Amino acid sequence: MLQIAKVHLLELLLFLTRPSRSFLHVTKDRVTVLQKYELFWVKIPSPVVSQKGAPPLPSLSPQTTTAPTPLPHPFTSEGCGTTKTCLRDPEGCNPENDTLCYFLSFRKVNQDVKFELSGPAAGYVSFALSTDKWMGEDDVYICIRDQDSVRISAAYVEGRTHPEMASENVLRDTAWRMADGVIQCSFLRNIHIPTPNEGRFDLDQMHYLFMAHGRAENGRTHRHDRQPLISAKQVVITGPPEDLSGSRAPLLIKFHAAFMLIGWMTTVSTGVIIARYFKPDWPETTVCGQRVWFQFHRGLMLLMVLLTCIGFILPFVYRRGWSKRAGSHPYFGCIVMALAVIQPIVALFRPAPDSSRRYIFNWFHLGTGTVAQVFAVVAIFLGIHQQALLLPAPWTTGLLAACVVWFVLADLALEVHRRGLFPIGQIFRNFQIYTENLQTEDKEEILFVPSQNESKGSSFKIIVLVVYLCGNLGFLAFLLASIIE
């Protein structure tokens, strides 16, 4: 690479020495000249160099290109699914009257395909053709804002890198429009590129569609502002018109979020309530040789560990490694994963209930579990705002907060009852004495029986648990529905 100092350069001469018997004609060396990122010239042809005595070469007609022209009107969704294929976000939006609509349409025109791309963006809007749902090795088309106009070009993405702009123009009849913060562009492209051309795909093959947008500076595209919209299925560009649907959240990330919500917002909270407040209940009943509360608690916690382990792996599979842009969410997640695994391992070595060291295990188990639960809640709050998921705000944040408050209220009600500050059994007993006194004067026959008091208290705890589960599952259902959508 030859670097030139900042001087007023009018002409640059390069001398190349070739073997004397190499070629009769050296047809056009090509040179790339870069002034700054957005101003460069690629594959500039040199004059044809011929050796003495070589026959003359036939003359070639120069290629001409046309500059993009402004669009007179915004795009419309009319004809989506009937005369053209459309991919929109939100579904059913119309770019003609909705400035927040991300819109891609295409239709076959003879041996070409007419593309229309629109969306609100500060720097660029783009779409890509991909053979899978992973970023990389994709055929990309970008409309970049360039001061008061829009530059339309093809590009290629190799891995998770910036798109590499195509050196040869394969687009025709390019046009653009900018208004109200919305970038719109259209162009024609041949269904088949005659020769292999820098990652251009044939348009009569099956491909996933990606739509992305973001900032651009000096012609350089920055990372997309949101997770790209990916079509739900592969589509043939030249196929029959369809009205496509898509999602910005990858399926693996959706499963990750669902597993963590189920594991930590429902399974753990229920297991904690049972272990904390239901130990005295059903003292004579066992399941597989163990107390009822213990079997429920152990089963729920093992389910939580399983869900956490699976959910923990999924983002690494999707990202193919560590995510550098996820903030503190993955760090909290790693701590939660470690504590979730430590808890059952420590429980395997717990001392006997009558051991003098039992209190050490009890405090360690309680402390570790509480820290894990708090960190998990923090990680979930951070996770719902990750770009790969980005649940609708603010109502999903409020719903998640309500779920946490619902657990605190249930825990508080049961704790107050356990400490005797709200003896529900005594209330039931007093009501029973009052009603029976209306029917008899023998007060000795209606003395309070302790077992009945305990039964009333147990009934209160079961009612609180059932009410808590109904509310918790309701919150969970709404959150899972927002993930699916």
CATH of residue 414's domain is 1.20.120
Contact 342, 381 (CB under 8 A): no
Contact 336, 375 (CB under 8 A): yes
Q: Are residues 189 and 80 in the same domain?
A: yes
Contacts 24+ apart (CB under 8 A), 420-426: 423/457, 424/456, 424/457, 424/460, 425/452, 425/453, 425/454, 425/455, 425/456, 425/457, 425/460, 426/453
Q: Are residues 84 and 222 in the same domain?
A: yes
Q: Are residues 304 and 196 in the same domain?
A: no
Q: Are residues 199 and 236 in the same domain?
A: yes
In whole angstroms, give the CA distance from residue 476 to residue 39.
Answer: 53
Q: Are residues 190 and 318 in the same domain?
A: no
261 domain residue, yes or no: yes
Residue where a domain stops, chosen among 247, 273, 301:
247
Q: Are residues 130 and 98 in the same domain?
A: yes
| Ramachandran angles phi, psi of 477, nearest 5° | -60, -40
Residue 389's pLDDT is: 85
Q: Are residues 267 and 336 in the same domain?
A: yes
399 domain residue, yes or no: yes
pTM of the model: 0.72
400 domain residue, yes or no: yes
The CATH number that applies at residue 104 is 2.60.40
List the chain residues with pLDDT less than 50: 4-10, 25, 27, 38, 43, 59-65, 428, 431-434, 436-438, 440-453
Residue 30's pLDDT is: 60
Position 242, amino acid: E
Residue 438's pLDDT is: 47
Residue where a domain stops, chosen among 189, 218, 247:
247
Q: Are residues 159 and 298 in the same domain?
A: no
Query: Could you tell me the residue range of the domain that residue 34 belongs to?
Result: 22-51
Residue 424's pLDDT is: 57
Contact 115, 129 (CB under 8 A): no
Q: Are residues 360 and 422 in the same domain?
A: yes
Q: Are residues 139 and 277 in the same domain?
A: no
79 domain residue, yes or no: yes
Q: Is 447 exposed, middle or buried (0-12, 13-18, 19+ CB in 10 A)?
A: exposed
62 domain residue, yes or no: no
301 domain residue, yes or no: yes
Residue 97's pLDDT is: 92
Owner of token pair 């670097």: 3
Cα angle vertex 139, ends 199, 82, to 5°? Answer: 135
Q: Between 395-418 and 358-383, two packed helices, what is the crossing angle to 10 degrees?
A: 160
Q: Are residues 380 and 255 in the same domain?
A: yes
Dihedral of CA atoms 285, 291, 296, 300 in degrees, nearest 10, equals -170
3-state secondary structure at position 17: coil
Q: Are residues 236 and 367 in the same domain?
A: no
Residue where a domain stops, chosen among 247, 280, 297:
247
Domain count, the chain: 3
164 domain residue, yes or no: yes
57 domain residue, yes or no: no
Residue 36's pLDDT is: 55
> Model confidence over 433-451: pLDDT tens digits?
445 444 544 433 333 334 4
